[in-house]
Amino acid sequence: MVKTSSRWSSSDDAIRAVQVAFDVEMQVIEAVRYAAWENQLSPSDQIRKILNLPCLGKPVRPRLTVSLSEADYALLAQRFGITLTDKRAVKEALHQALIAFAELHPAPAKLGAGLSHTTTEE
């Protein structure tokens, strides 16, 4: 039998959790996403709220994510006039492009508490 460290015992519940996917009509997906948006929750937390399950309530760092391939980086580096090897500069240019988009297309006042000017390296 393998002895586990007490350091990892707090993650036991998370390890046992199972992700459940729902195949539903687009109308249901849109309703849940819209409610999550209105309540400033993740879609997962909104589903937990609908099902009267406890939400973890842990602070979530607000951020947007996108997956970029090497071809995407090459295209964006060329578009922004940045060398392909400087991925950090490409990410910063994308960050600025998103900020510019938000300034031209502001969200309703309920959502926006201000625009952040920090980039997270992943």
Model confidence, pTM: 0.56
- Cα separation, 14 vs 30, in Å, equals 28
Closest CA to 33 of 17, 21, 44: 44
- What is the average pLDDT score of the chain? 80
Cβ count within 10 A of residue 84: 14
H/E stretch holding 30 reads: helix 26-39
Q: Tell me the pLDDT tens digit for each residue of 4-51.
A: 556 555 556 556 678 788 888 999 999 999 998 888 888 889 999 999
Cα(71)–Cα(116) distance, integer angstroms: 28
pLDDT for residue 99 is more than 90: yes
Distance CA 102, CA 100 (A): 5
